[in-house]
């Protein structure tokens, strides 16, 4: 984790609290990509604290940004609110005060579920309280430097009407030409759309800095030392490069240590997730389906510079299994550090030493009954000790299994014991095979395990009754109504013996 070591090394001799900032505009429902930023920021804070350095994470909600596009999950009638600050656009849900809150509040719940601790700062509160006054005044008094910085770094030519501020007119943010400022009265004069001169206060939220000035202004006023941000801001001549120049020449500070990160795409997609287009995997859903340790593991096992791909189906199972394996047997010091970052601050572990893939099968074999699942696992020689030691963790993890099966699991991994069977769907050879197997199982020793049942099935390979593959597909059809399923020997071993024998003999 060289990227973390490099950050920590820069603050070893600093005698102050290091402020790590994250932020986002609540313009749409937050997706898993938004989680990456706050998990990275959280990891930086934990690494700094582990090194004995005071640190804190602050998350800025840019809820004073303008509502620029109607997301796909809102009705077209929301076009009437375009241009209004996100904090004043009505919420589609009465539980929230605004569209901005509707998007942000579930995300904050998600952050809490994965153990990310951060102080939330609302841009609307900061502007309305006068917190941004020094940045507004500095930007307007050095407007030529701000304009030169943007033009020279970005290569973009700004017209003569450009100003570093937006004005609130009739409840909407507008780009207006700046004329003059009265710092004693805290007012500015600007030219409106009808070419008339108007005056407005800038200490109560009626004036907002343009994004290119707002970001470095925030670094200055909050005292930001480290900030992760998406790679789109890190391109040459992009917003971080212009912000760095503006920070130095307008606000007289050095820019914070940057931590650019790549996007999270859906597996198979070439474009990043979009909140407004509805192409993202909802962050709230992710933390409901994945234990907090695994969410952090997914974000931190690779450098922030690496693009990640999220798959809600088969890959998710492997992801949890990979984490569980690392947790049981860390291979090196890197694994130990990663494990610390994934688990630090979590009072209740949610990943057991039993593979998630095995829990998925066991839970379904127990008819999705948590108590019965634990009983099945306890009967297994392989997992009995783990159940005794980690029963509470297993029960917690089964909650994630249940939700995942209900919402995201592919049909190929889902099954349930068939309520009824139809004998006429089986050939005479299949019926004879099932009858003989039922007799074998009826006489099996009480302690018969998965290997015993597997051998019991395999003895019929040379019987000539059925082709080898059909020995297994026939069992799956009579038990779950499918041609495939979990490992047959193990599956038969965990089913109630009397029920199993009766089911096999039902096919006559």
What does the pLDDT look like over 85-117, one tens digit per residue?
Answer: 999 999 999 999 999 999 999 999 999 999 999
Across the range 391-414, mean pLDDT stands at: 94
Position of tokens 């304009």?
A: 147
Would you state the pLDDT for residue 278?
Answer: 63
Q: pLDDT > 70: what percent of the chain?
A: 98
**What's the pLDDT score for residue 413?**
87
Contact 342, 352 (CB under 8 A): no
Compute φ and ψ for 175, nearest 5 degrees: -85, 120
Which of 278, 309, 340 lies at the terminal end of a domain, its last residue? 309
Asked if 236 and 106 sit in the same domain, the reply is yes
The whole-number pLDDT of residue 417 equals 87
Tens-digit pLDDT profile for residues 286-332: 999 999 999 999 999 999 999 999 998 889 999 999 999 999 999 99
Nearest 5 degrees, angle CA 117-CA 120-CA 122? 170
Backbone angles phi, psi at 227, to 5 degrees: -150, 120
Helix, strand, coil percentages, rounded to 5, for the chain: 50, 15, 40
Within-domain flag for 145: no
pLDDT score recorded for residue 276: 59
Give me the residue label for tokens 């933390």: 287
pLDDT of the residue at 260: 96
Q: What's the domain range around 486?
A: 423-505
Both structure tokens of 324? 């569980």
Which residue in 298, 292, 215, 212 sits closest to 256, CA to CA? 215
Cα–Cα dist 65/75, whole Å: 20
Same domain, residue pair 93 and 60:
yes
What pLDDT, on a 0 to 100 scale, did the predictor assign at position 411?
Answer: 87
Is residue 53 predicted with pLDDT exceeding 70? yes
Whether 462 is in a domain gets the answer: yes
Closest by CA position to 27, among listed 96, 95, 104, 80: 104
Quote the pLDDT of residue 485: 86
- 275: pLDDT strictly greater than 70: no
* Count of beta carbons in the 10 Å neighbourhood of residue 388: 9
Look at residue 449 in the predicted model and tell me its pLDDT.
85
Show the CA angle centred on residue 211, arms to residues 41 and 194, nearest 5°: 160
**Which pLDDT score is estimated for 370?**
96
**Nearest-angstrom CA–CA distance, 410 and 253:** 52
The gap between the terminal CA atoms of the chain, to the nearest Å, is 62
Confirm if 351 and 386 have CB atoms less than 8 A apart: no
198: left (phi over 0), alpha (psi -120 to 50) or beta: beta
Residue 161's pLDDT is: 84
Half-sphere exposure (CA, 13 Å, Cβ side) for 508? Answer: 4
Element (H, E) at 298: helix 292-300
CATH number at residue 428: 1.10.10.350
Cα 132 to Cα 67, 180, 205, 420, 508, distances in angstroms? 21, 18, 9, 69, 82
Question: Does residue 322 sit in the same domain as residue 305?
Answer: no
Q: Is the pLDDT of residue 270 over 70?
A: no
**8-state DSSP, 102:** H
Whether 91 contacts 97, CB under 8 Å:
yes
Q: Of 388, 413, 438, at which residue does a domain stop?
A: 413
Rg (CA), the chain: 30
Region 223-239: mean pLDDT is: 94
pLDDT in tens, 125-171: 999 999 999 999 999 999 999 999 999 999 999 988 899 999 999 99
Task: Tell which wins on pLDDT, 376 or 42.
Answer: 42
Burial-class residue 99 by CB neighbours within 10 Å (0-12, 13-18, 19+). buried
In this prediction, residues 210-225 reach a mean pLDDT of: 97
Residues 371 and 449 grouped into a single domain:
no
Residues forming beta bridges with residue 261, ordered by sequence position? 230
Asked if residue 485 lies in contact with residue 476, where contact means CB atoms within 8 angstroms, the answer is: yes
In DSSP terms, 229 is beta-bridged to 260
Same domain assignment for residues 257 and 404: no
17 shares its domain with 59: yes
pLDDT at 330: 94
pLDDT per residue as tens digits for the range 325-360: 999 999 999 999 999 999 999 999 999 999 999 999
Domain boundary pick from 291, 309, 327? 309
Are 320 and 408 found together in one domain? Answer: yes
Q: In 3D, which of 141, 143, 198 has the Cα closest to residue 168?
A: 198
Is residue 140 included in any domain, yes or no? no
Residue 199 maps to a domain: no
Residue 42 lies inside a defined structural domain of this protein? yes
Does 148 reside within a domain? no
Burial of 157 (0-12, 13-18, 19+ CB in 10 A): exposed
The least confident of 199-208, 331-340, 486-495 is 486-495
Q: Kindly state the average pLDDT of the residues 466-485.
A: 93
Run of H or E residues at 48: helix 32-50
Residue 448 in any domain: the answer is: yes
Same domain, 385 and 250: no
Residue 181 exposure: Cα atoms within 13 Å on the Cβ side: 20
As a whole number, the mean pLDDT across the chain is 94
Q: Between β-strands 172-175 and 165-169, what pairing exists: parallel, antiparallel or unpaired?
A: antiparallel
pLDDT of residue 277: 66
- Residues 301 and 347 occupy one common structural domain: no
- Residue with structure tokens 């009465």? 94
Nearest to 210 by CA among 60, 62, 37: 62
Same domain, 105 and 244: yes
Q: How far is C-alpha 194 from the chain's CA centre?
A: 46
Strands 55-61 and 187-191 come out as: unpaired
Beta strands in 95-176 (DSSP E): 119-122, 165-169, 172-175
Distance separating alpha carbons of residues 224 and 16, to the nearest angstrom: 12
Please work out, in degrees rounded to the nearest 5, the angle formed at the alpha carbon of residue 311 by the alpha carbons of 309 and 317.
120
| Residues 373, 379, 385: CA angle, nearest 5 degrees | 95
Q: In this predicted model, what pLDDT tens digit does every residue of 432-475 receive, in sequence order?
A: 999 999 999 999 998 888 899 999 999 999 888 999 999 999 99
Q: Classify residue 376: in a domain, yes or no.
A: yes
Contact 408, 313 (CB under 8 A): yes
Regarding whether 375 and 254 lie in a shared domain, the answer is no
- 360 and 305 in a single domain? The answer is no
Q: Could you give the 3-state DSSP secondary structure of residue 182?
A: strand
Please state the domain count of the chain.
Answer: 3
| Alpha-carbon span 271 to 503, nearest angstrom | 50
Instruction: Tell me how far apart the alpha carbons of residues 347 and 321 are, in angstroms, rounded to a whole number.
Output: 21
The answer to whether the predicted template modeling score (pTM) of the entire model surpasses 0.75 is yes
For residue 418, pLDDT over 70 is answered with yes
pLDDT value of residue 21: 98
């Amino acid at each position: 984790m060289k990227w973390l070591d490099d950050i920590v090394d820069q603050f070893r001799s600093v005698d102050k609290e290091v402020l790590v900032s994250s932020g986002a505009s609540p313009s749409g429902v937050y997706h898993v990509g938004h989680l990456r930023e706050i998990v990275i920021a959280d990891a930086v804070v934990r690494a700094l604290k582990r090194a004995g350095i005071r640190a804190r994470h602050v998350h800025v909600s840019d809820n004073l940004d303008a509502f620029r596009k109607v997301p796909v999950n809102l009705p077209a009638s929301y076009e009437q609110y375009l241009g209004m600050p996100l904090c004043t656009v009505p919420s589609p849900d009465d539980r929230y005060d605004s569209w901005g809150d509707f998007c942000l509040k579930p995300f904050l719940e998600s952050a809490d579920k994965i153990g990310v601790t951060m102080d939330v700062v609302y841009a609307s509160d900061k502007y309305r309280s006068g917190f941004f006054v020094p940045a507004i005044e500095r930007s307007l008094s050095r407007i030529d430097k701000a304009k030169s910085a943007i033009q020279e770094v970005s290569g973009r030519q700004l017209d003569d009407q450009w100003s570093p501020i937006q004005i609130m007119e009739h409840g909407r943010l507008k780009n207006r030409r700046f004329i003059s400022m009265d710092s004693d009265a805290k007012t500015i004069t600007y030219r409106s759309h009808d070419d008339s001169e108007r005056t407005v206060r800038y200490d109560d939220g009626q004036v907002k800095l343009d994004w290119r000035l707002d970001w470095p202004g925030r670094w200055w006023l909050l005292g930001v030392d480290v900030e992760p941000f998406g790679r789109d801001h890190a391109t040459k001549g992009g917003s971080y490069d212009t912000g760095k120049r503006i920070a130095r020449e307008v606000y007289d500070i050095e820019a914070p240590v940057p931590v650019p990160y790549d996007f999270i795409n859906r597996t198979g997609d070439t474009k990043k997730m979009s909140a407004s287009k509805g192409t993202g995997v909802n962050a709230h859903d992710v933390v409901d389906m994945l234990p907090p340790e695994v969410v952090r593991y997914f974000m931190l096992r690779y450098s922030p510079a690496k693009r990640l791909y999220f798959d809600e189906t088969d890959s998710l199972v492997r992801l949890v299994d990979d984490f569980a394996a690392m947790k049981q047997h860390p291979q090196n010091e890197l694994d130990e550090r990663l494990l610390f970052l994934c688990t630090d601050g979590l009072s209740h572990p949610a990943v057991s030493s039993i593979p998630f893939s095995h829990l998925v099968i066991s839970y379904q074999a127990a008819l999705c009954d948590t108590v019965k699942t634990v009983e099945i696992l306890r009967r297994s020689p392989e997992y009995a000790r783990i159940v005794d030691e980690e029963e509470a963790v297993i029960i917690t993890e089964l909650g994630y299994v249940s939700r995942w099966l209900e919402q995201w699991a592919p049909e190929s991994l889902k099954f349930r014991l068939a309520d009824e069977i139809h004998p006429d769907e089986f050939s005479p050879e299949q019926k004879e095979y099932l009858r003989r197997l039922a007799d074998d199982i009826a006489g099996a020793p009480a302690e018969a395990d998965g290997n015993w049942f597997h051998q019991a099935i395999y003895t019929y390979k040379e019987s000539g009754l059925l082709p080898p593959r059909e020995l297994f597909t026939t069992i799956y059809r009579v038990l779950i109504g499918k041609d495939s399923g979990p490992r047959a020997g193990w599956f038969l071993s965990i089913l109630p013996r009397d029920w199993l024998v009766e089911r096999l003999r039902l096919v006559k």
